[in-house]
C-alpha cells in the first residue's frame, strides 16, 4: 500500500511539474524550436534534394537560388543539404556526449556523497584535478593524439564534462542521506546499492534533468569549436562546426555569407532554445523553487 501511494505521489509530482512547464512560454518556445531542428535532422534525406557529399565543380560558390536554397560551397556541394545532415551530427554529439558525462558524473557523485570519507576524498580530488585544466586545451591535445572523428569527439566531450554534475549530485546526496526516510530504508534491510537506486537518485532527478539539458548545449558547442579548429568531425561528413570553419577565410566572410551564417545561426538558436528549456525544467521540477 505504501509503495503504491509513493508511486501515485511521484506521478502527481511529475504531472504538476509538466503542468508548470507548459505554462512557461519561453521554455515551450525553446522546446518548439528544438523539435523543428530535430525533425529536420531526422528527415534530412527526405527534405534534402542532393547528396551532401556530391561535388559539382562547375557550380562552385553559387549564391542561394531556387535550385540551391542556401547556395553551394567551394566544391559545388549543396549547402542546404549539408546543413540538414550537419544538424544530425551536431545534435547527436550533444546528446551522446551528455549521456556519457551525466552517467559518469552521477555515478561518482552518488558514491562520493553517500559513502563519504575515503571515497569522497579520492573522487573529489580527481574532480578538482580535472576542473583545473581548461577544456579546450585538454580536448585539443586528446583529439590530436586520438585523431579527429565523430566518436572521438563524443568521448572527449563526455569524459571531460562530468565534473560539474558530479559535484552537484554529491552535494545533494550529502543532504538526502541525512533524511529520515533513508534511515527507515536502512532499518528495513535495504543495502547501500538499493538505497541509492530507489531513494537517493530519484530525488536528484530535477538536478540531473536540468544538467543534462544544458549539457547538450555544451556538447554542441564543444563539437562546433573542435570542428572549427579542424580537430572535430572529419570532412566530407558535414557538421555545423566544420561548416563554420569556412568562416576562417576573410574572403568567405565578405563574399560568401551563405557558407557560414546558416550554421552559425543554427548553433546560436539551438543553444538559446536549450537554455530556455533547461531553465523551464529547473523552475518546474525543482521543489525548492515551488
* Predicted model pTM: 0.82
Q: Tens digits of per-residue pLDDT, 42-84?
A: 999 999 889 998 899 899 999 999 999 999 998 999 999 999 9
The DSSP secondary-structure symbol of 30 reads H
Backbone φ and ψ for 78, nearest 5 degrees, come out as -70, 120
Percent of the chain as helix, strand, coil, to the nearest 5: 80, 0, 20
**Rounded alpha-carbon distances, angstroms, from residue 199 to 74, 107, 176, 191, 229:** 57, 14, 9, 11, 44
User: With contact defined as beta carbons under 8 Å apart, do 277 and 30 qualify?
Assistant: yes
Q: What confidence score (pLDDT) does residue 6 get?
A: 44
Residues whose CB falls within 8 Å of the CB of residue 178, separated by 6 or more in sequence, listed in order: none
Q: Is the pLDDT of residue 13 over 70?
A: no
User: With contact defined as beta carbons under 8 Å apart, do 274 and 251 qualify?
Assistant: no
Mean pLDDT of 127-138: 86
Backbone φ and ψ for 72, nearest 5 degrees, come out as -125, 160
User: With contact defined as beta carbons under 8 Å apart, do 246 and 256 qualify?
Assistant: yes
Q: Is the pLDDT of residue 111 over 70?
A: yes
Mean of pLDDT over the chain: 85
Element (H or E) spanning 206, and its range?
helix 205-228
- CA angle, residues 119, 121, 122, in degrees to nearest 5: 70
Residues whose CB falls within 8 Å of the CB of residue 205, separated by 6 or more in sequence, listed in order: 285
**Rounded alpha-carbon distances, angstroms, from residue 17 to 10, 20, 119, 254:** 11, 5, 34, 48
| Helix 205-228 × helix 79-115 angle, to 10° | 140
Q: Tens digits of per-residue pLDDT, 189-238?
A: 778 888 888 888 888 877 788 888 888 888 888 888 888 887 888 888 89
Amino acid at each position: 500500500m505504501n509503495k503504491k501511494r509513493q508511486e501515485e505521489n511521484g506521478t502527481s509530482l511529475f504531472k504538476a511539474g509538466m503542468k508548470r512547464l507548459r505554462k512557461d512560454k519561453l521554455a515551450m518556445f525553446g522546446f518548439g524550436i528544438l523539435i523543428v531542428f530535430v525533425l529536420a535532422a531526422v528527415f534530412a534525406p527526405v527534405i534534402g534534394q542532393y547528396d551532401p557529399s556530391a561535388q559539382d565543380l562547375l557550380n562552385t560558390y553559387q549564391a542561394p537560388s531556387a535550385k540551391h536554397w542556401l547556395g553551394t560551397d567551394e566544391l559545388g556541394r549543396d549547402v542546404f543539404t549539408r546543413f540538414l545532415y550537419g544538424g544530425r551530427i551536431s545534435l547527436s554529439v550533444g546528446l551522446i556526449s551528455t549521456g556519457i558525462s551525466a552517467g559518469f558524473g552521477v555515478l561518482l557523485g552518488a558514491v562520493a556523497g553517500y559513502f563519504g570519507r575515503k571515497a569522497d576524498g579520492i573522487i573529489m580530488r580527481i574532480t578538482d584535478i580535472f576542473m583545473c585544466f581548461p577544456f579546450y586545451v585538454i580536448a585539443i591535445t586528446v583529439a590530436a593524439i586520438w585523431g579527429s572523428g565523430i566518436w572521438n569527439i563524443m568521448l572527449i566531450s563526455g569524459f571531460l564534462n562530468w565534473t560539474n554534475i558530479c559535484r552537484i549530485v554529491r552535494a545533494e546526496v550529502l543532504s538526502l542521506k541525512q533524511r529520515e526516510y533513508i534511515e527507515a530504508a536502512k532499518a528495513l534491510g535495504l543495502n547501500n546499492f538499493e538505497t541509492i537506486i530507489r531513494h537517493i537518485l530519484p530525488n536528484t532527478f530535477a538536478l540531473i534533468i536540468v544538467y543534462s539539458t544544458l549539457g547538450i548545449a555544451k556538447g554542441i558547442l564543444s563539437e562546433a569549436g573542435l570542428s572549427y579548429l579542424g580537430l572535430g568531425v572529419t570532412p566530407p561528413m558535414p557538421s555545423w562546426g566544420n561548416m563554420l570553419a569556412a568562416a576562417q577565410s576573410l574572403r568567405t566572410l565578405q563574399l560568401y555569407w551563405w557558407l557560414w551564417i546558416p550554421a552559425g545561426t543554427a548553433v546560436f538558436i539551438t543553444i538559446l532554445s536549450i537554455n530556455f528549456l533547461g531553465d523551464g525544467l529547473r523552475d518546474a521540477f525543482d521543489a525548492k523553487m515551488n
